[in-house]
Amino acid sequence: MSDFRRRHLLAVLAGVSVLGMGSGGALAAPSKRRPKSVSKPTPAVPMDKPKLVFLDPGHGGRDPGALGSRGTQEKTVVLAIARDLRRELLAGNRYRVLLSRTTDSFVPLRERVARAQAARADLFLSLHADAHSDRDVRGASVYTLSEEATDREAAALAARENRAGASLSGMRLSEQPDNVAQTLVAMSQRGTVNDSRRLADTVVATFARNGVRLLPRTHRQAGFAVLTSPEIPAALVELGYLSNAQDEKLLTVRQHQLALARALRASVDAYFGTGATRKA
């Protein structure tokens, strides 16, 4: 017998022994033990669909918005901060982000809202930087929708924003008295007031925590056209006053723009309850 055949036979005999040859030469009875159960893989838990945040940099194109004493244009400042905020939100893989405009282009107010509604956005944030006749006035504020503006300043600001090109049910707001335009805007809003107020409260709290200067009575109410979607919680954030020399300078400093974007991102986290591990 060749060495190869001998090794092969020994290997076969060894295999039979392992399988349980008894003393009588027959194969042992199969084991009564139950085979080990194979654990089934745990089904994957479906991930929540990322929330869609719609960012609206105010003004644009032929509408520069407020102008600072040094020539700073509101449309440029808010677009830069909106881009920073988009990067901040996308970095955590928790959100999808759309902007009403990504370039220096004019978008009618109602179209901004319509785009957010068509995309089924979960949140709408409009970013602005205002001007005031009193150059000493400075600080950030947050507006949510109300049928009546809380003070004359809010009413005038709403009327000024609405006249940038809005229409409602075929009626151009720019052709209406301020009080009529404001009433029409307020009437179109349904069902999101409480959520919008909660959003505003998170922005105010986060700004305060991060040292952003705030106006007295920081959370205000007005009839801004961009806040009128019936399904989407919305807030308009005035990031400061370009008419104030200190605010104007800050709003053009990249470090401050990034700080505002991070504070806004932390506000969105807090609103959706996802901010436990993230800092502004």
Please check whether residue 174 lies inside any domain of the structure: yes
Which of these ranges, 13-27, 128-142, 180-194, 205-219, has the smallest mean pLDDT? 13-27
pLDDT single digits (tens) 70-110: 999 999 999 999 999 999 999 988 999 999 999 999 999 98
| Overall average pLDDT of the 4-10 stretch | 46
| Overall average pLDDT of the 119-127 stretch | 97
Per-residue pLDDT for 23 more than 60? no
Per-residue pLDDT for 155 more than 90? no
| Overall average pLDDT of the 20-39 stretch | 46
Please check whether residue 170 lies inside any domain of the structure: yes
What domain range includes position 209?
51-272
CATH number assigned to the domain comprising residue 191: 3.40.630.40
Whether the model clears a pTM of 0.85, i.e. scores above it, the answer is no
| Overall average pLDDT of the 174-196 stretch | 66
| Overall average pLDDT of the 31-39 stretch | 52
User: For position 46, what pLDDT does the model report?
Assistant: 46
Please check whether residue 211 lies inside any domain of the structure: yes
Q: How confident is the model at residue 13 (pLDDT cuts 50, 70, 90)?
A: very low
Please check whether residue 185 lies inside any domain of the structure: yes
Q: How confident is the model at residue 192 (pLDDT cuts 50, 70, 90)?
A: confident
Counted domains in the chain: 1
Mean pLDDT of the chain: 80
User: For position 15, what pLDDT does the model report?
Assistant: 43
| Overall average pLDDT of the 190-204 stretch | 86
Please check whether residue 38 lies inside any domain of the structure: no
User: For position 19, what pLDDT does the model report?
Assistant: 38
Please check whether residue 122 lies inside any domain of the structure: yes
Please check whether residue 153 lies inside any domain of the structure: yes
User: For position 170, what pLDDT does the model report?
Assistant: 55
Share of the chain above pLDDT 70, in %: 65
Per-residue pLDDT for 275 more than 70? no
Please check whether residue 240 lies inside any domain of the structure: yes
| DSSP string for residues in the chain | --HHHHHHHHHHHHHHHHH-B-TTSSBPPPP-SPPPPPPPPPPPPPPPPPEEEEEEE--BTTB---B-TT--BHHHHHHHHHHHHHHHHHHTTSEEEEES-SSS----HHHHHHHHHHTT-SEEEEEEEE--SSTT---EEEEEE-SS-SSHHHHHHHHHHHTTT-EETTEEGGGS-HHHHHHHHHHT--S-HHHHHHHHHHHHHHHHHTT--EEEEEEEEE--GGG--SSS-EEEEEEEETTSHHHHHHHT-HHHHHHHHHHHHHHHHHHHT--TT---
User: For position 92, what pLDDT does the model report?
Assistant: 82
